[in-house]
């Protein structure tokens, strides 16, 4: 774009729970839809669904901690690291999801089981975690 950079006048935008919720409040529906699709999908479709829902889980997890971290990023690897900082016990899950995006697995049952467990966790905890405020 041509002209003066107006962003310098305004400074960084404060991240709010409303932003996080507007982006990923559909996790429950996305989770249920993905599980149903996985049950009858061809192996090629399983790979596509795996990659898509792995991305969705990472973005949702990041949204859960976005407000308290006050870090804005659209890069999945960075979003993963922000989430792991707040939930180190989920690191192995995040690493698995990243691996599945890069190289989709062929074990439908393993995908289904991880997505069932993690999708339920995200659906149950999403609103609560999104609303934990930023503290200096």
Longest dimension (CA), the chain: 54
Burial class (CB in 10 A: 0-12, 13-18, 19+), 80: buried
At 46-92, the pLDDT tens digits run 999 999 999 999 999 999 999 999 999 999 999 999 999 999 999 99
The pTM score is 0.88
pLDDT range class, residue 1, cuts 50, 70, 90: low
Q: Which residue from 14, 22, 16, 25 is spatially nearest to 126, judged by alpha carbons? A: 25
Structure-derived torsion over alpha carbons of residues 128, 130, 131, 134, reported in degrees to the nearest 10: 140
At 80-132, the pLDDT tens digits run 999 999 999 999 999 999 999 999 999 999 999 999 999 999 999 999 999 88
């Amino acid at each position: 774009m041509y002209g003066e950079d107006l962003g310098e006048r305004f400074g960084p935008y404060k991240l709010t729970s409303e932003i996080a919720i507007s982006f990923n409040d559909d996790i429950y529906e996305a989770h249920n839809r993905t599980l149903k699709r996985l049950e009858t999908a061809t192996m090629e479709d399983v790979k596509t669904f795996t990659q898509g829902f792995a991305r969705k889980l990472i973005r949702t997890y990041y949204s859960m901690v976005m407000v308290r971290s006050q870090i804005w990023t659209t890069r999945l690897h960075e979003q993963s690291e922000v989430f792991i900082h707040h939930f180190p016990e989920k690191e192995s899950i995040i690493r698995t999801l990243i691996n599945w995006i890069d190289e989709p697995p062929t074990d439908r049952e393993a995908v289904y089981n991880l997505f069932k467990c993690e999708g339920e966790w995200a659906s149950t905890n999403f609103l609560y975690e999104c609303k934990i405020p930023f503290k200096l």
